Structure 1
Amino acid sequence: MPPCDDIAAAWLSRTEFADDRTAVGLLSRAISPREYALKRDSLPVTAAADPRTAAAILELLERGQVPTMPAIRTLIVQNEMRGEAERIERLGRRAQRSIDDFGRLLAQLTHEYWVMNDVGPTRRDILHTDPMLELIRERVGDITPNAVKHLWLIERAQRAGWIAYNAEPRSLCAGRRFHSAKYGNRVSLRPVNTIGSLVASFLDRHHTEQGRPPRWSVLAHDLRDDRGRRVFNDTADVRAQQQWLTTAEWLALADDLPVPGPRGRRALTRKPRR
């Protein structure tokens, strides 16, 4: 047995690869490649003293690969990236469990930003505010500011109906649930996309029957959900919700009157007319 085989066998004797001749051969090729007429750097025996390197060597042997230093370094980086991705995924699941709290705060901060600046905040503006970072620490745990974006809080809150945005810069605005929360069960509690579809259908039907868009007061008073509950509390409410409905493209304006927006029209084409 070549000396490098003795070294490999001795190191592997303390692992699950003890007496595994295939693993010994692979490790020997890494330790002394020149003995196998291979032109590459050798694997220092001392490298195995590092726990991460030792674990990578064993993982490569399990795959049937020669544990060269480049292969070890690549695997360590891949494992670190995978570990970080799994950690962020776990934190994301924690965030989802508190999404209403995150959404409520995001909507409130976004609404206040609009009032003060007449334009929406950037994602960084809103995610890095002290109240948001404090809530993240409380509900998710310690996470670096640069990693906050990987929690997908904006996207999760949008799906939950708290905020709305589109592809335009600074389009982020407070959503349906922010506006309807103050009215409780006096208004529809249907999901945000259902609300958007109801609005688009009502506007389309009214235009078909009347030949013109409805007044805002008509939309506020007449629109009901499938349970007969009003979608908007009053005219002031529908005008306040005009922003998110327009941002999400459920609604557009024609001479300052509501008509179906691009998303609303797409929903109408998928829905059979009655």
Structure 2
Amino acid sequence: MQSCESTAAAWLSHTEFAGNSAATGLLSRAIQPAEFALNRDSLPVSAAADPHTAAAILELLERGQVPTPAAVRTVIVQNRMRAEAERIERLGRRAQRNVEEFGRVLATLTQQYWDDHGHGPTRRDILLTEPVMKLIGEHVGDIAPTAVKHLWLIERVQRAGWIAFDATPRSLCAARRFHSAKFGNRVSLRPVNAIGTIVAAYLEDYRAEQGRPPRWSVLAHELRDDRGRRVFNDTADARVQQQWLHTAGWLALDEDLPVPGPRGRRALARRARRG
């Protein structure tokens, strides 16, 4: 009968560990633990015929560990989880390349949901709609519905300015990019965080000078970005955009008039520290 050491050496002869006595010793202890006075399950030589098992054995040997059956199973599970995470990450990068299209669709569906129900959808409500799943299939690829959340689509389109949300259930709402799209270059095209900061700064300055918050009509008429372009098309537009600005924390309400919100105040404080 072939010894466990010669069996291990024979198997390793076809790998990068050929002639490696340390690796041969580790594999021998896994193949025939009883010979080393070890009370544990043995690793069947036939297990190495499976490519995933073989890869796990080699990975453990690379670490200087004995490839016991339990250790091999653990590595296989870890490798599968890592491979799936890497796959999802690749798919997420594909989603990011099409974030504008995802943003338009998600914001439109979210606004429709508000119009129909008077509150926002859950993430599941909106992500598993037919238009979104169709876009995912076209631009990202085949992905199980249960894994859609791992694409971080909501967060991606939020950063792009299409939707806003806070910790409140069903707070998801259409944001700056959705509302300003209909006005084209008649209104500011500055990024969403710049818009939020501009709004908060105006509200802070107005209250400091006047001792009270501005009326919505005044805010809509006077507010300009750093390039002199209107932030809101008109008063109605400002009132519509109140929702996302409030949800994102850029403004708050004082007797239904706009004042800087918590996020707006933090942004202004950071700007003041930078001088």
Band the TM-score falls in, shorter-chain normalisation? over 0.9
Task: Say if 2:239 is the partner of 1:265.
Answer: no
Which residue is equivalent to 1:126?
126
5+ residue gaps, structure 1, are none
Q: Which residue of 2 aligns with 1:3?
A: 3
Counterpart of 1:15 in structure 2 is 15
Q: Distance in 2 between matches of 1:142 and 1:158?
A: 23
Cα offset, 1:49, TM superposition: 1.5
Question: Distance between the aligned counterparts of 1:86 and 1:69, measured in 2?
Answer: 26
Q: Give how far 1:14 is off.
A: 1.8
| C-alpha separation in 1, matches of 2:272 and 2:164 | 27
Return the alpha-carbon distance in structure 2 between the equivalents of residues 254 and 16 of structure 1: 71
Q: Aligned AA for 1:182? A: K
Residue 240 of structure 1 is matched in structure 2 by 240
- The secondary structure found in structure 2 opposite 1:253 is strand
- 1:180 and 2:180 correspond: yes
Match of 2:204 in 1: 204
1:29 correspondence with 2:6 = no
Q: In the alignment, what sits opposite 1:62?
A: 62
- 1:102 aligns with 102
Q: Distance in 2 between matches of 1:255 and 1:17?
A: 75
- When structure 1 is superposed on structure 2, of 263-272 and 235-244 the one drifting more is 263-272
Moved over 4 A (4+): none
The CA deviation string for residues 39-85 of structure 1, in whole angstroms up to 9 with x for no partner, is 11111111112111111111111221111001100000010010000
Q: Secondary structure at the residue paired with 1:14?
A: coil
Distance 1:193 1:74 in 2: 44
Return the alpha-carbon distance in structure 2 between the equivalents of residues 10 and 232 of structure 1: 76
Residue identity in the other structure for 1:153: L
Following superposition, the deviation at residue 8 of structure 1 comes to 0.8
Deviation at 1:244, TM superposition (A): 0.3
* Alignment RMSD: 1.4
> What is the distance in 2 between the residues matched to 1:253 and 1:17?
69
User: Aligned residue for 1:93?
Assistant: 93
Amino acid in the other structure paired with 1:227: R
Distance (Å, rounded) in 2 between the aligned partners of 1:271 and 1:74: 50
- In the superposition, the TM-score normalised over structure 2's length comes to 0.97
**Equivalent residue letter for 2:228:** G
- The Cα shift of 1:230 comes to 0.6
- Count residues in correspondence: 274
SS at match of 2:272: coil
**Residue in 1 aligned with 2:253?**
253
One-letter amino acid of the structure 2 residue matched with residue 169 of structure 1 = P
Rounded Cα–Cα distance in structure 1 between residues aligned with 2:9 and 2:249: 67
- The sequence identity of aligned pairs, in percent, is 74
* TM-score scaled by length of structure 1: 0.97
Aligned equivalent of 2:159? 159
Aligned to 1:42: 42
In the TM superposition, residue 10 of structure 1 has moved relative to its aligned partner by 1.3
Aligned-partner Cα distance in 2 for 1:10–1:267: 66
The 2-side partners of 1:196 and 1:115 are apart by 24
Distance 1:192 1:20 in 2: 59
Unaligned runs of 5+ in 2: none
SS at structure 2 position matched to 1:271: helix
